[in-house]
Structure 1
């Protein structure tokens, strides 16, 4: 590792700081994801169709915006505070302000002005969030070049979202509603709390996380050729593998999650037991956090993802043909499969960092911002695509949305077939892409990092 002068060695402080960074991003982004559309429809009284169009347009723009911000980050020279940390430190402030402004009650404005206010605050927030999230995601690639430490960072990053979702799922519904009705002022109050806590977490990240891997500066006068970098990225097999693996896996998981309520409500006939599944998911997440790094260290990141997610896909392929009618047994089997597939979510960030190094290995240049933001583009594209797919599935199987309607036996059986079939196809295709496209096995990753160390050392001594 090429260490900067007077920078302490990698330690638990870095891991906790990186966890807090993800938690800080989740405080604003996930709060908005969970409650902004509810606020728009129930408080601002905007047509849900208009809300859907607004979110689709802005999410597509947000995805396109990621590589642009990544290119700008890459084109800037590192300052005394590092290359990425100053972006997080500066832009986390206006990001927090825009999160709060998104929940201001403007229902007294006429309909057109309401839509304009929503659009402006949404677009501005997403642009500022990208200015924080792209540098934050890229930060781990320069905190360490040790493969085990990078796996640890990816693992600890997953804790941020888990902590937020655990708290918000319990607190949100209890705080935001009175007598089953939304209270506008409470949405704004909780937005303020989330924004301030998120800002605090991100500022701690800027202090506790250190950039240690020297990023080669672009030669004086040489400008970043954005189109050329994108062309080079298109030949980066590691990045292509992790992007399409993540894209397919996210879409499959999102559709399955969208069908979850209908599976328990209509197939098992017991919606309350879904709460048991939700509570156990926290336990599963803790177990996944504990076992992922030892398994990844033993087998390799690619190898463990293929084995674990492949096992889960096979189990659901069997369940497609052999339906279960006992919800408790299903919850147990689903939990075991979750542990197998969890490596896909926990290790993906470490594989993105390896893809950044792979890009340097093949091109001789580091373009962390563009490489990471290109991956982020595909994640947001998957989010935009998958958001409504579960609704399309329900429509295709003839689900009756009439209040109090009892679904036909054919529809009920189709819910099971859709749930298990999409799980099998989604995770199976994701594993196939990772296995055949992503080139970095455990052995090749170690060889790549060693080669890069030699190259960086020779450049320093030249």
Structure 2
């Protein structure tokens, strides 16, 4: 694929978006329950409602982006710019909840901020995802640009773990640094600045001549969007990719939302140890991208994706066994978990590039002449957001069911066991289900005619 500058600018856009959203994904469930002292069911409800709102607005923003341009910024970049500014501002308020407020007021504050954040995230992510399809059209190029996008996304996922160590160290006042509320505010400031800079680079670094087409006069129709979404599920391969991807992302949602609880309360790891594990997970996701790209070119995308899922499942099982036998293993359990985390990182690396590439393939294969990239992208994000919202709400409820007490720095043994069951059972069920769904995918490279690249040779 030609156009290195545009590839880099496009990928950098995912760095800023990732660092903000991964901070929320990794830390907010813990922050809400253990720092703000809000019941897990309420935090889970707030996250679920905001995710459902995100899902509901995805098709609307997709339609607007496909049919209404914003001056010289075109059909994608203008909306990405609005999303960049909005996310950068709202993110600060999410982590600045006054601790002296009542539980009810804290819940309302959190809910409003999360809803606003998801609104601006949709304005950013849906046109951004469609921009990928505008920049390339070749079968392998779709995977290559997804690799760039994924590498920067994973780098953004790594940064919150590093910031956790920098701003949430163990101190005399906070022996468990993760419980320090002021550290989260500093993390938010850094993340918002990164989002702003990276978003601007993406907006002005990926402008393309394709934005000069005549604006559509098609009017928005919710009925039309619902019918179009239903049509996706009548398409065999679109249905498989949507369901398989949604299931795989549930594992990521559970791992990130409960992972901090698990390592803090079940293993009593310090901020440094947790940072090492999370950083290893994400770095191996990034490092594995060239390997999965080459494997997908050699053996095709489906075999590469199934191999990655299988590797991730094996890694999760090793972590589970390490917890079961942690008393027997003693201090060596940390090193075993570290190696297993690396294995999970390598395997799950496929989930952040290949399914998105396969979805673009199927969309192109099904509607080669239709200009609805953002709308099609929104259907995928709508589906996995609904799945994630359901999973996160259940996680919040289950934390209350197992009697998780945010006022205790040490949880009871039954509660620790409950946290581990939520984590391992949820992740394994979602990964295995995703494997079974993707195993039915039939399209191969030979089904596609090679097309010329759309990116200019800069």
1:380 aligns with 2:414: no
1:412-427 equivalence runs, <5 A: 425-427=429-431
Query: What pairs up with 1:183-262 in 2 under 5 angstroms?
Result: 187-211=184-208, 225-255=224-254
Provide the residue aligned with 2:435 in structure 1. Answer: 431
TM-score (norm 1): 0.76
Q: CA deviation at 1:261?
A: 6.9
From 19, 23, 28, give the equivalent of 1:31.
23
Q: In 2, are the aligned partners of 1:75 and 1:223 still within 8 Å (CA)?
A: no
Distance in 1 between the 2:143 and 2:114 partners? 33
> CA offset at residue 321 of structure 1?
10
Q: Determine the C-alpha separation between the residues in 2 that align with 1:286 and 1:39.
A: 27
Contact persistence 1:142–1:212 (CA under 8 A): no
Q: 1:309 to 1:10 in 2, by over 3 A?
A: same
Shift of residue 64 of structure 1? 1.7
Q: 1:219 to 1:387 in 2, by over 3 A?
A: closer
Larger Rg: 1 or 2?
1
In structure 2, do the counterparts of structure 1 residues 193 and 398 end up closer, same or farther at CA, with 3 Å as the change threshold? Answer: closer
How far, CA to CA, are the matches of 1:29 and 1:260 in structure 2?
16
Matching of residue 141 in structure 1 with residue 133 in structure 2: yes
Shift of 1:82: 2.7
Map 1:398-413 → 2, pairs under 5 A: 407=413
Given that 1:176 and 1:183 are in contact with CA atoms closer than 8 Å, whether structure 2 keeps it comes out as yes
* Distance in 2 of aligned mates of 1:83 and 1:26: 22
Matched, 1:83 2:75: yes
Compared CA separation, residues 398 and 93, structure 1 to 2 (3 A) = closer
Q: Aligned to 1:370, what secondary structure does the other structure show?
A: helix
Distance 2:87 2:410 in 1: 43
- Partner SS for 1:50: helix
Structure 1 residues 373 and 421, CA, compared in 2 at 3 Å: closer, same or farther? Answer: same
Offset at residue 312 of structure 1 (A):
4.8
Of the structure 1 ranges 82-91 and 256-265, higher mean CA displacement relative to structure 2 is found in 256-265
Structure 1 CA distance, aligned partners of 2:209 and 2:366?
A: 19
Residue matched to 1:441: 444
Cα RMSD for the two superposed structures:
4.3
* Contact kept? 1:261, 1:271, Cα under 8 Å: no
- Per the alignment, residue 66 of structure 1 pairs with 58
Are 2:339 and 1:335 aligned? Answer: no
Residues 162, 400 of structure 1: CA spacing in aligned structure 2 closer, same or farther, 3 A cutoff?
same
Structure 1 spans left out of the alignment, 5+ residues: 1-8, 457-462
2:376 match: 371
What is the deviation of 1:289? Answer: 2.3
Q: Contact conserved, 2:82 with 2:120, CA < 8 A, in 1?
A: no
Q: How many residues were matched structurally?
A: 435
Instruction: Flag the 1:274–1:108 CA change in 2: closer, same or farther, 3 A.
Output: closer
Offset of 1:339 from its aligned partner? 2.1
Give 3-state SS (helix, strand or coil) of 2:73's partner: coil
> Which ranges of structure 2 fall in alignment gaps of 5 or more residues?
none
Q: Which residue of 1 aligns with 2:304?
A: 304
TM-superposed CA distance for 1:399, in Å, is 10
- After superposition, the C-alpha distances for 1:250-301 in whole angstroms (9 at most, x for unaligned) are 223444566767887899x785776654443244234312312211211222
Correspondence for 2:147 among 155, 180, 185:
155
Q: 1:240 to 1:321 in 2, by over 3 A?
A: same
Give the Cα separation in 2 of the matches to 1:321 and 1:38.
24
Aligned residue number for residue 6 of structure 1: none
Greater relative contact order (Cα < 8 A, sep 6+): 2
Give the distance between the partners of 1:174 and 1:386, measured in 2 at CA. 30
What is the deviation of 1:345? 2.3
In structure 2, the partner of 1:55 is 47
Distance change in 2, residues 1:336/1:218 (3 Å): same
Is 1:358–2:361 an aligned residue pair? Answer: no
| 1:403-462 deviation per Cα after TM superposition (whole angstroms, max 9, x unaligned) | 767748xx97x99898776655432321221121x3432222x33x55xx7xx9xxxxxx
**Deviation at residue 201 of structure 1 after TM alignment:** 0.7
Indicate conservation of the 8 Å contact 1:155/1:289, yes or no: yes
Q: Mark the CA change 1:226 to 1:398 in structure 2 (over 3 Å): closer, same or farther.
A: closer
Q: What is the distance in 2 between the residues matched to 1:189 and 1:264?
A: 23
| Corresponding position of 1:99 | 91
